Structure 1
Amino acid sequence: MVWRKVSDNRWEHLANTFDAYFIFTEKLSADLCGGREHYVLFSTLKLEISIPNVESALRYAWKQIRYEQPQLAATVEGMAKVYEVPDEKGLEQWLASTFIVSQASDAEELYRSVTPIKQATLYYLPNSSELAFRAHHHSIDGTGVFLFWHSYLSAVANPLKQIKFGDEPARLNPSVEEALGYPEEPTQAHSEEAAALLGSYAEGLPGIGPVSKLGEAPVGNCHNTELVFSAETTEALVKACKDKGITMTAAIHAAYIITLTRHADPKSKLGEYVTTSQFNLRPYLPDPYNSSKYAVAVYYTPIPYKVGLPNSYWDVAKSLQDYYQSTFKGNAVPLELVGPLARLSFNFTQTPEYLSIPMSKDALVSSLGIVERYVQREYGSGIKVKDIKMGIDIIMGMSFFFAYTFRDQLRLVYSFNDGYEEAKNIQTYMEEVQSILIEELLA
């Protein structure tokens, strides 16, 4: 459904794809866990910045990004996203509540103390020269976060001379279906194909998982544990993948699956690994929706994947290679299925059948590729990006396993909740993924 003007200054958009699923999940977790919301994205930048009046420049750029991408300031009422054109007082209130100068020593300390947010929020940490961005998953995805950073730092380096709110609703983001020009109502054939995909995935749940107290223990603290490969090892792994005809994404995901088999909960469904991997849809969207101008949007889709176990590393890697390369590029799954699959998934999560299925305890794997495709290392003559990190709040449900490369170094981030999983076990999983990659690709 398109954004609809309901008054002179108010626009509404009924969530109807995967944003609806995230809104539902966030509300459910907030009701059960004292206001804490599942899958709030958290990303940080380490900067070297030498520009006049840093705090003022960062604050002005935040206002500029709201003007350029107004959905940044959207809120949720029921299942609708709401955007209101601000007057001067409303704009200052928004800035005061969403641009926060933190005296935390670094982003890790900040993360341990953050509270629930109403809308996307930016933190400036002068003590560590870091920026931190928090946003609900109903408003942005992982690739979108990197694109946001590019748009934001570009605004810092190249501020508009004047910002006058009022015309920005014309830039509110369309849904994937709107951007692609597809009708909201799918054909019968596409509905049936989407239902078959979702049904095949549901039949395999919960799949294989590590030992976890998920569903059995109260929520704990969120963590984003990182493992960074050396530039030399990263270069060698990239070359080995090219030589062997697989992508780094397939190689890393296969290493995680083999790691799971070594640490599987005996109560898991051990004969099959089942998941949904994340596909960035921006390469398939027309300009400008495929660019950083529409960073703040949910332009991705999960697509089910299954493989039988036990299996060798290379059999799993080749299966994943085919899956990642053929799903949309080879048109194994038509783009027309994205909308109906999202709506079916949302409806399914609210049925008694879904609630009776044991929770999947393995992490969702999300490969974000080479960060420099989205974020430059330098902006203007006074801003250098020294480091970048992606994470997500795990309150209820599956953990997340991010993989991406920045400054020629592969980075793995495992987002989890210590109420369900132990930090030492997460560290073990990540180190074993690293060992498997080195053993299988470089030995």
Structure 2
Amino acid sequence: MPWKQVSTSPHVWQRPLGENERMIKWLGGQSHPIGKDHWAITASARMRLSGIDAKVVDALPSFRALQQAWLLLRFHHPDIATVAGSEIVEYTIPEDEATKWLWLDETLHMVSDASTTVDDVIASLKPSKYTVAFFLPHAKQFVLSTAHWRTDGFGILHLLNDFFDALSVVVGSSLAQHDGVDIASSLPWGQERTRLHPNIEEVLSLPSEPTEEICAASTACLATGGFVKGSVGVPWQDVKASAQHAGGTRGIRRTLSTATTKAVLESCATKNVRLLAAAHASLAKVNFLAAAPKAERSTNGAGANLYDSFEPSHYTSTMRFSLRPYLPSPFGSATYAATLYTGGYLAKVSSDQSWQDWADFYESQYAKGLAGEFLIARREYARRALKLFQQASGAGTPPRSEIDISSVGDAEKLIAPRRRLGSTKVGDEDVAHLGLGIEAGISDAELEVEDISVGVECAQRESYLFLWTFRGHVELYLVYNSAFYEAKYMEGLLHQVEATLLTELGVS
């Protein structure tokens, strides 16, 4: 069902929450009692303004410019300001200046403490009904965070890219006019509701009631969940009342040099495996190596004895795919960034296979992509999966503690490293026609994105390895919950992943 105007208010628009959104929202909400939002998506970037004048080589945007850009992003992607209940997603068109600034105050934050890092910001995140942002001027870093039901890793990087486009428009126009651009007052609010996004079930035109074919496809997707039983896991530290322990999400980064990155990609090509398949195989090996002996598992941490009857013979992880390449135009484009268009299934590899066996297997799965059966099952699969999750939540199901993997591939396809401050485009739209008084800026000034990162909130024992390439470097980012793992231990595991990847690819 498309967005509809609420009869009692001309400013409020609603649509039903999709089954996939509902499932992910429920999973995230399970950690709300401890002040966390499991799987909330976070992206950050370090930026640099240059060429503005001879005296200012590395300028910082003013907070007013950030506010104007944030409002312009909302106008371009109104879904960042939607609110979800148990059944409905709702968007309210701002009626006046006070409403706009109230939303700004709630969602855009300046981090003034120079000792605070992006990692600290992420560790302190709380559930929010909106997409939120933080600017760390001392680090020149900007952070976006939103509940996972709203978007995915690809989507949040598209949003970050469009924010920097908006910031370039605002700063560039301000430079040209030597005055601020009042986006809040000038934007034609109300028009943005035409850009509110449909859910994945509507985009795929899936029927409300499943056919026999859809039921069979859903059953096949759910069957991969059986691979969880017996899967190896990483041993966690003992914490009291761990189920209620609100540890923060922390991350460890490893950046491969440009020379090493080049050698890694060349070796992957020689072995006929993509970087993701090679990294996935390396992670599988580290999971097997890290798996504690059964005797130790019975004493290593609250609830760990639940693994006693399992033999660590296989590693189960998720084959993740963006649905965007499979969607009809224009839904796969960056215009639909603030929408959950992702899916996956579970796959396992055995401990008695070689690294090359694992790499070849993962390569075959990634190369195969998603079949039509997977796509038609999205509504019914999510409906059934949610019921299973709800049934398992109070059944004492053994907690999973493996390190899983996720990749956005070449991040430069999602977020441009450079943009001219003279531009008037946000994403694919030229905003000059909106009558904002925007003028083209100076051509030799630019906003450069020097570094990016993407990850998720970890409220449980599972950890996640994020992989991407950006500006000639392979990036490995391991996120975990500090209540269950020591930083030094996780640093060691990530070092093993890197060492395994390089060794198996023959890169010194």
**TM norm structure 2:** 0.81
Match of 1:20 in 2: 22
Match of 1:46 in 2: 46
The answer to whether structure 1 residue 151 and structure 2 residue 162 are counterparts is yes
Match of 1:260 in 2: 287
Distance 2:135 2:85 in 1: 28
Match of 1:433 in 2: 497
Letter in 1 for 2:44: T
The answer to whether structure 1 residue 67 and structure 2 residue 107 are counterparts is no
Match of 2:204 in 1: 180
Report the aligned-residue RMSD. Answer: 2.2
The answer to whether structure 1 residue 294 and structure 2 residue 336 are counterparts is yes
Q: For 1:315-354, list aligned pairs within 5 A.
A: 315-328=357-370, 331=371, 333-352=373-392
Distance 1:322 1:113 in 2: 39
Letter in 1 for 2:505: L
Deviation at 1:366, TM superposition (A): 0.3
Q: For 1:126-275, list aligned pairs within 5 A.
A: 126-159=137-170, 162-202=186-226, 204-205=228-229, 207-213=231-237, 217=242, 218-267=245-294, 269-275=311-317
CA contact (8 A) 1:141 1:298 kept: yes
**Aligned with residue 386 of structure 1, among 427, 447, 450:** 450
In the superposition, relative to structure 1, how do residues 360 and 126 fare at CA in structure 2: closer, same or farther (>3 Å)? Answer: same
Deviation at 1:382, TM superposition (A): 2.2
Which is further off, 412-421 or 36-45?
36-45
Distance 1:209 1:171 in 2: 43
**Aligned with residue 356 of structure 2, among 311, 314, 317:** 314
Aligned-partner SS, 2:377: helix
Aligned-partner SS, 1:192: helix
Letter in 2 for 1:327: G
Aligned-partner SS, 2:225: helix
CA contact (8 A) 2:135 2:141 kept: yes
Deviation string, structure 1 residues 324-377 (Cα, Å, up to 9, x no partner)? 11131xx37542122222222222101148844312111221011011011111
In the superposition, relative to structure 1, how do residues 63 and 341 fare at CA in structure 2: closer, same or farther (>3 Å)? Answer: same
In the superposition, relative to structure 1, how do residues 364 and 5 fare at CA in structure 2: closer, same or farther (>3 Å)? Answer: farther
CA contact (8 A) 2:17 2:86 kept: no
Deviation at 1:30, TM superposition (A): 0.9
Aligned-partner SS, 1:195: helix
Structure 1, gaps ≥5 residues long: none
CA contact (8 A) 1:378 1:385 kept: yes
Deviation at 1:411, TM superposition (A): 0.8
Which is further off, 347-356 or 228-237?
347-356
Match of 1:373 in 2: 413
Match of 1:96 in 2: 105
Which is further off, 118-127 or 6-15?
6-15
Aligned-partner SS, 1:158: helix
Letter in 2 for 1:222: T
In the superposition, relative to structure 1, how do residues 220 and 112 fare at CA in structure 2: closer, same or farther (>3 Å)? Answer: closer
**TM norm structure 1:** 0.93
Deviation at 1:214, TM superposition (A): 8.7
Letter in 2 for 1:169: R
Deviation at 1:114, TM superposition (A): 4.0
Deviation at 1:206, TM superposition (A): 5.3
Distance 1:397 1:308 in 2: 22
Distance 1:324 1:91 in 2: 44
Aligned-partner SS, 1:349: helix
